[in-house]
A = this chain, B = another copy of it.
Amino acid sequence: MKKLNTSPISGTQEFLPSTQAIFDNLKSTIQKTYHAHGFLDIDTPVLERSEILFAKAGGDTEKQIYKVKKTGEDPTKPADEALRFDHTVPLARYIVEHENDLNFPFKVSQIGKNFRGERAQKGRFREFYQCDVDIIGRSSLPIFYDADIIDTLLDTYQNFNLTTPVIVRISNRKILKGFLEGLNLQDKSKDISSIIDHSEKVPREKTEQNLTEIGLDEHEKEKILKFIDLNGGKDEIRSGLLALGVSNPILDEGIEELGTVLNILESIGHENTKADLRIIRGLDYYTGTVFEFALPDYPEVGSVGGGGRYDNLTEYFSDQKFPGVGGSVGLSRLFFIINEKNLLGSTLKSPLDYAVIPLSDAEIPYALEVAKDLRTRGASVTILSNDKKLSTALGHASKIAKNAIVLGEEEVKNKSYKIKRFKD
C-alpha cells in the first residue's frame, strides 16, 4: 500500500477529543454571550460568487482568496466560485439580499470558518474560526451601539475565565483625521496612519525616521509624536490635543464620540478599557470608533480581537447606505495562544460523566436502562461493551469519563449499582 500523508494540511488545525472539548466550550461561551446580548445568528455559505468576493478585496487579501472548481471543469477558465475570507463581505451581500426582511438596527452574529491562502506561520491559520458581532443601521446608527459591541466582546473575554486580564484600547479615526486636517497634513494621511499603526512595534527612533522619510518637518514630527503619546484617560486626551493647538470640527466630533463610548463602558463597570490614539486597525475600512483587545501580560502576542465603526457596509453592492459597527474574536488564533501560554485556569477534565461497564452481554439490558436513566438527568453516558478484561475496560473508562459503573449479576438482581469516581 502506498503510504499517504495523513497529517492535516499545513495552516489547518485539528485536535484530539479532549482538546476539542475545550475549544468547543470556548466557542459555546462566545455563542451564549453574543446571544445574551441580543445578537441573532446567521450562517452564510462558505462558497461565494467570485465577483462578490473580488468586488471589495484588494492587495494581499485578493492574493489569498481560495478559488474553487469542480473536477472536470475547464481549469483555464476563471473560477466562478471561491471560499469566503471573512464574514464581512458575505454579511454585506446578505444585508442587500434580505434587506426588506430584516429589522434595523440589525444585531447579527456570525461564528464559522473562513479561509485565506496565507503563508503558514506560527499562530496564523489558512482555515480558521472567526466569531463576529455586527450592528447594522439603515441610513444611520447611534453611537451607543459602538459601546454595545465593545461591551459584548468584553463580557465574552471575561466569560472565558482566563488566568490573565484582557484589556481593550479604544480610539476614533475621526480624531486623527481631524488632527491631520488641522495640521494641513491630510494628503499624507495614509502614510502617517501606517507609521502610527506600527509605532508600537518599532523603537522610537525608527518612528521618527519614518516620519522624516515621508517629508515631515521638525514641527510636524513633534506634533505627531506627541499625538502618539496621548494614551491616558479621555480627559487627558482632550486637554492634550487642545495643548497641541490643533482645532478642527472632525477632531472635536471624534473626541466627543470617544468620550461617549468610554462613558457608557464605565457606567456598566468595565475597568479594563482605555483610550489609546495609536489604535488604527488597518487603513481603509473604519471611519469612526476603532478598538483592539490585548493581553497586557503578553505584549508579544499582539491583538486578540478588535473592530470598529464603518460608514457604509454595502458600498460595493448597493446605492443605499448601511452604516455599522462590528468586532470579532479570532477564535482559532486565540485558542492557539491560550494553549501556548496555558491561560485556562481549569485543568483538563474527562469529557464524559459516566462509563457503564456490563461484565458480560447478559448485563447489557440493565446497562442500557442505567444509561437511559442517567441521560434523562442530563448526564453524558457511554456503555463499554466488555469484550476484554475488566481492568482494560476500567483503564479505558478512566481516560474518557469522570465515573465508572460496573454491572454484574448481583447488580442486575438487586437493580442497584455503585459509582466508582475517578480522581480528577
Interface residues of A (CB under 8 A from B): 1, 4-9, 12-18, 20-21, 23-24, 35-49, 51-52, 55, 62-72, 75-76, 79, 81, 83, 93-94, 96-98, 101-105, 107-108, 113, 115, 117, 126-127, 140, 142, 144-145, 148, 151, 264, 267-268, 316-319, 351-352, 355, 361, 364-365, 368-369, 372, 375, 378-385, 387, 396, 399-401
Contact = CB atoms under 8 A, between A and B. Distances in A.
Contacts of A20: 40-43
A349 B208 CA distance: 59
Contact of A40 (B13, B47, B68, B400): B400
Contact of A387 (B12, B64, B142, B369): B142
A9 B81 contact: yes
Contacts of A381: 36-38
Contact of A368 (B13, B104, B264): B264
Q: How many copies does the complex hold?
A: 2
Nearest to A151: B368
Given A72-B63, A144-B364, A364-B144, A45 B264 contact: no
A142 B264 CA distance: 61
Contact of A17 (B41, B48, B361): B41
B70 A69 contact: no
Contacts of A368: 151, 264, 267-268
Nearest to A117: B70
A210 to B, nearest CB: 30
A25 to B, nearest CB: 11
Given A41-B20, A267-B365, A71 B117 contact: yes
Given A38-B382, A51-B4, A144-B361, A16 B101 contact: yes
Given A9-B48, A14-B43, A145-B385, 4 more contacts: A8-B97, A38-B355, A67-B71, A68-B68
Among A36, A98, A268, max chain B CB count under 10 A is at: A36
22 contacts: A4-B93, A4-B317, A8-B44, A14-B42, A20-B40, A20-B41, A21-B41, A36-B379, A37-B380, A38-B382, A40-B351, A47-B126, A62-B71, A63-B71, A64-B70, A68-B68, A107-B382, A144-B361, A144-B364, A267-B364, A267-B365, A268-B368
